[in-house]
Amino acid sequence: MPRLRLTCLCFLLLLRVAAGQPKLSATTVMNAADLSGGRVAPGEIVVLHPSNAGPAVLVGTLLDGDGRLTTLLAETRVWFDEIAAPMVYTVSGAVMAVVPYEISGRKTTEVIVEYQGNRSPPARLEVVDAAPALFTLDFSGKGQAAMLNETGCCNSNRNPALRGGVAVLYATGEGQTTPPGVTGSISAHAHVADYPVPRLPVQVTVGGVPAEIIYAGEAPDSVAGVLQVNFRVPARAPIGDAVPIALAIGGFRSTEGVTMAIRSPVKRILIADPDVATRDWLRRLLAGASYDVSTARNAQDALLQASLHPIDLAIVSLAIPERERLDAIRALRAARPQLAIIAAATVAVPGPATLRAADLLGAQAVFTNPMAAQAVLRRVREILKPHPMPYVADEERPLLPLAGPIPH
């Protein structure tokens, strides 16, 4: 009987250990950008979904004494062929890590999750030269890409990129780089030429049209493995709120379903003025200067026109009741923060009341009545002239995802 009790006790202990052992399968190791699985590339950021692993509360990125991501986070580790992976975060059931560059050239790799000293059985995955995937706003790998226009503002249907303008996308899975990627390092170099670049050729297509690549390399101020690509939106690219965009690295291509918003480079001007003569005069003048012009007789009409397509400049008459015009401008700027505004006064010489009203609108200029055609065109051109956003270093920038300036 004592021997039987000892055997049962040992069996129960084995069951308890097995129940607490992390478990992982090849299908639960996914690209962090598009959630594809079954393979990994050197430097790829991946999300693993093990059972019995990870703390109850999410623990995020920490740096070691060398300024690299730690490989141990809240008693959690990820191993690729016994090479510890840099850890981005860990929480019960979800771990984000960076595939070590050291597996470059191998055919397969065995992935193990360790938690509180217990290791999962290995999951075998194919190693490929590249597994490009674009980050999207909802991290699903589908829909609107997480990307910037050249003004430094996020691309969206409210803020489309211009044909011929520069846009910036972010991805992972580019594979080994030149010079070789340093596992867990944070990309920070004094010169653009010093940033590691993918060994394989990079191509971006927008609506099926190849784009000019301006920069393709590690994203500044991010962990090695985040790829930044600056490209020029093709002049022949389709216009719309959901134009397909794809990234190819070597013979590997990102998954379909990622989109960006694109518009014509022609600037759009909205004229809101209850006076039909003034409205029509401005429309003819500005349309004759190759602007896309729409008109509205009141604040309600202005909001309707702005809902149809993005507006770059609103010329708003101060003859519209103050509360109506302020509410309209507030709504317009909520949808398009970069909206430029010109106040149209009903007087020849603006006094304090006129200037106060223009200031409340956030106007960049005031047109007086009557208006001189050449003065109007000159001021409109000045206001609508592109002003790309400069990069300013910020020590508090996040490491992931998608941090960094726009190299030129």
- Give pLDDT tens digits for 181-213: 999 999 999 999 999 999 999 999 999 999 999
| 62-94 as b/e: b if 16+ CB within 10 A | eeeeeebbebebbebbbbbeeebbbbbbbbbee
Q: Which domains does the chain have, with CATH numbers?
A: 17-127 (2.60.40.10), 133-263 (2.60.40), 268-384 (3.40.50.2300)
pLDDT above 70 as % of the chain = 90
pLDDT reported for residue 388: 53
Higher pLDDT, 10 or 132: 132
pLDDT reported for residue 405: 38
Beta pairing, strands 166-172 & 147-149 = antiparallel
Q: Is the pLDDT of residue 5 over 80?
A: no
What SS3 string covers the chain?
CHHHHHHHHHHHHHHHHHHHCCECCHHHEEECCCCCECEECCCCEEEECCECCCCCCCECCCECCCCCECCCECCEEEEECCEECCEEEEECCEEEEECCHHHCCCCEEEEEEEECCEECCCEEEEECCCCCEECECCCCCCEEECEEECCCCECECCECEECCCEEEEEEECCCCEECCCCCCCECCCCCHHHCCEECCCEEEEECCEECEEEEEEECCCCECCEEEEEEECCCCCCCEEEEEEEEEECCEECCCCEEEEEECCCCEEEEECCCHHHHHHHHHHHHHCCCEEEEECCHHHHHHHHHHCCCCEEEEECCCCHHHHHHHHHHHHHHCCCCEEEEECCCCCCCHHHHHHHHHHCCCEEECCCCCHHHHHHHHHHHHCCCCCCCCCCCCCCCCCCCCCCCC
pLDDT tens per residue, range 66-87: 999 999 999 999 999 999 999 9
Least confident of 238-247, 248-257, 399-408: 399-408
pLDDT reported for residue 131: 97
Q: Is the pLDDT of residue 363 over 60?
A: yes
Q: How confident is the model at residue 335 (pLDDT cuts 50, 70, 90)?
A: confident
pLDDT reported for residue 236: 95
Mean predicted lDDT score pLDDT of the chain: 89
Spatial distance between the Cα atoms of 292 and 288, rounded to a whole number of angstroms: 9
Q: How confident is the model at residue 159 (pLDDT cuts 50, 70, 90)?
A: confident
Least confident of 285-294, 298-307, 365-374, 382-391: 382-391
Q: Whose CA is closest to 165, among 267, 310, 262, 292?
A: 262
pLDDT tens per residue, range 261-300: 999 888 999 999 999 999 999 999 999 999 999 999 999 9
Query: Tokens in use for 341?
Result: 């505004």
pLDDT reported for residue 4: 38
pLDDT reported for residue 393: 36
For the segment 242-251, the average pLDDT, to the nearest whole number, is 97
pLDDT reported for residue 10: 41
Q: How confident is the model at residue 400 (pLDDT cuts 50, 70, 90)?
A: very low
Spatial distance between the Cα atoms of 220 and 406, rounded to a whole number of angstroms: 8
pLDDT reported for residue 387: 60
